[in-house]
Amino acid sequence: MFHSIARTVIAHPWRVVCLWVIAAAAVIVLAPSLDDYTTGNQQSFLPGSFESVQAQDAGNTYFPAQSGGTGSLVVVRADGAPLNPADQATATGLAATLQGEAIPGVLAVQATPQSLSPDGRTVALSVAFDGQPGEDQVNEAVSAVRADADTALQGTGLTSGLTGNAAIQVDTTSAYDDAEKIITVATVILILALLGLIFRSPIIAVIPVVVIGVVLGVVTGLTALLADLLGFQVSTSLQSILVVVLFGIGTDYIVFLLFRYREHLRRGEPHGQALATSAGVVGRVVASSALTVIGAFAALLLAKLESLSTLAPGLIVAVAVMLVTALTLVPAIFTLLGRHLFWPWGPGHDSRHSPFARVGALVALRPLVVALGVGLMLIVLTVFAGGFKSTYNTLDELPDSTSSQQAFTTLGESFPAGALSPTQVFVVGAGGPLDPAALNALAAKLSGVPGVSSVAPPKPSQDGTAAMINVVLQDDPYSNAALDLVEGPLRDAAHGSVPGAEVLVGGQTSTFVDVRAQLGADTARVFPVAAVIIAVILALLLTAILAPLNLLVCVALTFTATLGAVVLLYLHALGYAGIDFSIPIVLYLFVVAIGTDYNILIAARLHEEFRGGHDPRTAARIAITNDAPTVAAAGIILACTFASLMLTGIANLAELGFGVAAGIVIAAFAMAPLLVPALSALEGRPFWWPTRRSVDRDAVGVSPRP
């Protein structure tokens, strides 16, 4: 099938290019903007059955003015000195000033007796927004509050900063927008430089950047169309991830074809024949790799946490479109360029005397030593994976220069850390008025929970059938200690405390408690399903039983070793308090899916050579000699592409970038060129059972024995 596709494309290259241009232009011009379907509000990704979501619903119903986005406007002296009486009057008077300006999207700006910190250095004004964090009106209101506060305090010696969930969301979105620009620029520069060095051709260096740039526009438009059609929102991290995924796997697929094409040209084959043969053989490998990645990403659809499940459509579309591109547009462009593709130096000479030839000879001669050496290294890294510790502190992951981060730091120096985002306890009666004595008893019970800093008096709803109690925690509301407190002692103290009423614990900390619980369940569901999908695809590709099982074990070991490398760097070397909670599941999918590309390329070549009549050790030597350079080149490019995430200054993206880069290095330089061929050489013919060897090598199209 893939040979037929290749021959058709090569026979009609202009038609293929024209169809692509028309289709791409239509999607890019007509599709809506993906920004309109992007949100960072974690609660919007939770199922309605969770307590934090039900608490938010109760707040929206009975306390709409207090249930939207919130903020703390922190006012201090610019010189760091304590606030004198005039400063305090100016700071607290700022609330009335901002309230009088009737800023659209702002419900209230208030100062209370508790607004002045005990040390007299800070005033924290409470800001209530009309809507949830991330909504356009709230985002615009955050900017307006900041600007108006700065204007009002000019010449007073005071300075202000806005933090809280609404401001954090604005700053997070801005940080991700900046990150996407950094990633795109860094990725383009890396691809241009690395491809130019590897193939010594400026044309080859430019082609992937142009082609994948167009594909990125198409994928973004198609994802926005799907979000509009199916009515879902995506995480703020999707667009940054799409950039590195597309440039990463897209460059991989193009490099796979270039190396095989160059190999045939070096044998003296005409350009048309060499491209047709290469595109047919590589097409099967690329399709298998793409289906593996798509299968792994499709497993995300089973996640109930929508911040994960809504990543799947965009990633699946990205890989599918890139697959079609690799099978059609790329060979068509290569056909049109012909011998000019490798200008000015040409395809070069045979690589059988390259360092990889010596590596292939070593693996064929000493497969047990190689397998044990690589296996031991990966097991050592895997040991560190057991020390993984997660964090849900999304604010702390932003750059230190972020406005909301700086305001929170200032707030935490004078107030309990939990003042940033109080936990809200809602009491909803069965229809009649609530008993004030029972509500006061609940407030007293909550104040007695260890780890609680203060509890506000119960605030009844207008009809008296519901009440809200604000609870300020001692710890940072995004810390693991705060999550443990809310999940255990606080919820235990709240539930069932008011007879005949339902008590619900809400707020940001409660939301992350539920996110943490659902993430654990989703991980247990997604991991095995992705593994089964990958195993089935590998079995179909290799027509064997032991081979795909070996590859699956290798892939699992790659993941655990990669996670161990992340723990080693960030927890042990850099001293981070924790690693972003989403890293293990996202890392699993990226390393397992994308890292499998290299295993598939080598395994397919091993299978091809074995089926053609070579013994397993000779097949291993030929596969490493011819395809290990491809894997190494693609791995360097892809690892550097993902490593560009480390330039963003956003901790979770940096952790993801390092993790995927480390996983790709392990897959490209240890797993695919060393461990997989060594295992095939050690296990011999049973590795490929029930595949049969052919006595006619020319009919199969295998390489001559080097």
- Return the CATH number at 114: 3.30.70.1320
- Residue burial 158-183, b: 16+ Cβ < 10 Å; e: rest: bebbbbbbbbbbbbbbebbeebbebb
Task: Answer whether residue 519 shows pLDDT above 60.
Answer: yes
Name the domain count of the chain: 4
SS3 category, 373: helix
Distance between the two ends of the chain, CA-based, in angstroms? 29
Compute the distance between CA of residue 148 and CA of residue 370 in angstroms, rounded to an integer.
66
For position 700, what pLDDT does the model report?
Answer: 45
Residue at 184 is within a domain: no
DSSP for 135-147 reads -HHHHHHHHHHHH
SS3 category, 234: strand
87 shares a domain with 162: yes
Domain that holds residue 477: 403-513
Q: Write out pLDDT tens, residues 591-641.
A: 776 677 788 889 888 988 888 888 889 999 999 998 888 888 888 888 887
For position 696, what pLDDT does the model report?
Answer: 46
Q: Report the run of H or E that residue 530 belongs to, with start and end.
A: helix 508-542
503 shares a domain with 540: no
Q: Write out pLDDT tens, residues 272-305.
A: 898 999 899 888 888 988 888 888 888 888 888 8
Compute the distance between CA of residue 239 and CA of residue 550 in angstroms, rounded to an integer.
34
Which of residues 483, 513, 543 is at a domain's end?
A: 513
Compute the distance between CA of residue 215 and CA of residue 222 in angstroms, rounded to an integer.
10
375 shares a domain with 413: no
Compute the distance between CA of residue 335 and CA of residue 279 in angstroms, rounded to an integer.
11
Task: Average the pLDDT over each of 140-144, 184-188, 546-550 and give the range with the smallest value.
Answer: 184-188
Task: Answer whether residue 706 shows pLDDT above 80.
Answer: no
Asked if residues 511 and 46 have their Cβ atoms less than 8 Å apart, the reply is: yes
Which residues, 6 or more positions from 60, have their beta carbon under 8 angstroms from its beta carbon?
Answer: 67
Which residues, 6 or more positions from 663, have their beta carbon under 8 angstroms from its beta carbon?
Answer: 558, 559, 561, 562, 587, 590, 591, 595
475 shares a domain with 426: yes
- Residue 466 has phi, psi (to 5 degrees) of -145, 165
Average pLDDT score over the chain: 87
407 shares a domain with 345: no
Tokens at residue 221, please?
């438009």
pTM of structure: 0.78
Average pLDDT over residues 237-257: 82
Residue at 183 is within a domain: no
642 shares a domain with 540: yes
HEC secondary structure over 438-467:
HHHHHHHHHHCCCCEEEECCCEECCCCCEE
Q: Write out pLDDT tens, residues 532-576.
A: 888 888 888 778 888 888 888 888 899 999 999 999 999 999 999
Compute the distance between CA of residue 706 and CA of residue 702 in angstroms, rounded to an integer.
12
CATH of the domain at 544: 1.20.1640.10
Q: Give which of 492, 487, 505, 483 is closest to 428, Cα–Cα.
A: 505
253 shares a domain with 296: yes
Tokens at residue 97, please?
């000033």
Q: Give which of 583, 600, 446, 492 is closest to 538, Cα–Cα.
A: 600
Confidence of residue 346 (pLDDT cuts 50, 70, 90): confident
Q: Write out pLDDT tens, residues 629-665.
A: 888 888 888 888 788 888 888 888 889 889 989 998 9
- ∠ CA(542), CA(545), CA(550), 5° rounding? 85
Task: Answer whether residue 702 shows pLDDT above 90.
Answer: no
Which of residues 474, 494, 513 is at a domain's end?
A: 513
Which of residues 488, 513, 538 is at a domain's end?
A: 513
* Packing angle, helices 546-567 and 508-542, rounded to 10: 150
528 shares a domain with 505: no
Q: Write out pLDDT tens, residues 375-434.
A: 999 999 999 999 999 888 877 778 878 899 899 889 888 888 888 788 999 999 987 889
Q: Give the number of other Cβ atoms within 10 Å of residue 61's Cβ.
A: 13
Of the chain, the percentage scoring pLDDT greater than 90 comes to 41
316 shares a domain with 418: no
With the C-alpha atoms ordered 34, 35, 36, 37, is the resulting torsion angle positive or negative?
positive
- Residue burial 245-273, b: 16+ Cβ < 10 Å; e: rest: bbbbbbbbbbbbbbbbbbbbbbeebebee
Segment of 58-67, 325-334, 387-396, 690-699 carrying the highest mean pLDDT = 325-334
CATH of the domain at 479: 3.30.70.1430
Average pLDDT over residues 77-94: 93
Residue at 179 is within a domain: no
Confidence of residue 95 (pLDDT cuts 50, 70, 90): very high
Compute the distance between CA of residue 181 and CA of residue 192 in angstroms, rounded to an integer.
17
Task: Answer whether residue 25 shows pLDDT above 80.
Answer: yes
Average pLDDT over residues 358-370: 93
Tell me which residue has tokens 């099967």.
284
458 shares a domain with 425: yes
Which residues, 6 or more positions from 631, have their beta carbon under 8 angstroms from its beta carbon?
Answer: 598, 601, 602, 668, 672, 673
Helix, strand, coil share of the chain (percent; to 5): 70, 10, 25
For position 252, what pLDDT does the model report?
Answer: 84
651 shares a domain with 537: yes
Amino acid (one-letter) located at 69 = G
For position 174, what pLDDT does the model report?
Answer: 85
SS3 category, 354: coil
Compute the distance between CA of residue 653 and CA of residue 656 in angstroms, rounded to an integer.
5
